[in-house]
Homo-oligomer: A and B are copies of this chain.
Amino acid sequence: MADTVWIERFHGLRTLPEPVKAQLVTESTVMKVPAGTAVFGPGAVPDNLLFLLNGRVRVQQTSESGRDIVLYRVEAGESCVLTTACLLAHEPYSAEGVTETEVTAVAIPRGAFDRLMASSKEFREFVLTAYARRITDLFRVIDDVAFGRIDVRLAGRLLSLASESDELATTHQQLATELGTAREVISRVLNDFQKRGFIAQSRGKITLLDRPKIAQLAEST
């Protein structure tokens, strides 16, 4: 019941006063969601603020023309604050969140969220800091999309997607969605990478062969 242990996994929550922690625990519920589920978006409107304990959520947007772009990811230890903000602004909201792995999360109902905002300076700071981080993420996306070269962006994305292993199970179309471009473009750049010995490819799989070279490309202006 009084399992406050998950709170300790969140940097900004650790410093909460004990009574606030207790309040947080009693008012929230831990939930488990399988991979590939839409946790919010058109058609799935949560009334909760989510704190991710395990797993990862990908937030992406679909344009009118049907094309997608990945906006950012919420990792374990982070919260998905933008969701709540967008819920407040009763606007048509085109982004959606999809679990990429199985996800364990703590759901805090809107009412409890508001009480916490009122009662705890630390919680307010935690929330606003989380906002700030997301916003700088979005600024970065805008900068990349507007001014970045595709090969550079793809190199960087390959590295961050393949942080665990050198094997990457993904399709060209998925990578196109990552960067908000077309599949053909990804195919051509990947073929170029292959010719240069950066990667090996097979259907639905990419193997990083030369991380240093890829990293060097990703760093170039």
Contacts and interface: CB of A to CB of B under 8 A. Distances in A.
Interface of A: 61, 63-65, 67, 69, 71, 82, 84-89, 91, 93-95, 114, 117-119, 121, 124-125, 128-129, 131-136, 138-139, 141-143, 145-147, 180-181, 221
Given A65-B221, A124-B118, A128-B85, A91 B145 contact: no
A88 B132 contact: yes
B71 A133 contact: no
18 contacts: A63-B146, A64-B221, A65-B221, A67-B147, A71-B139, A84-B128, A85-B128, A85-B135, A86-B135, A89-B129, A91-B133, A91-B136, A94-B139, A114-B121, A118-B121, A138-B138, A141-B142, A145-B146
A41 to B, nearest CB: 12
A11 B61 CA distance: 29
* Main DSSP-derived SS at the A contact region: helix
Contacts of A87: 132
Contacts of A125: 88
A89 B141 CA distance: 17
User: 6 smallest A-B Cβ distances: which pairs?
Assistant: A89-B132, A146-B180, A85-B132, A63-B147, A138-B138, A85-B131
A183 to B, nearest CB: 14
A79 to B, nearest CB: 14
B88 A129 contact: yes
Given A86-B132, A118-B121, 4 more contacts: A61-B139, A88-B129, A114-B124, A118-B119
Contacts of A93: 136
Contacts of A129: 85, 88-89
Nearest to A180: B146
A110 to B, nearest CB: 11
B132 A91 contact: yes
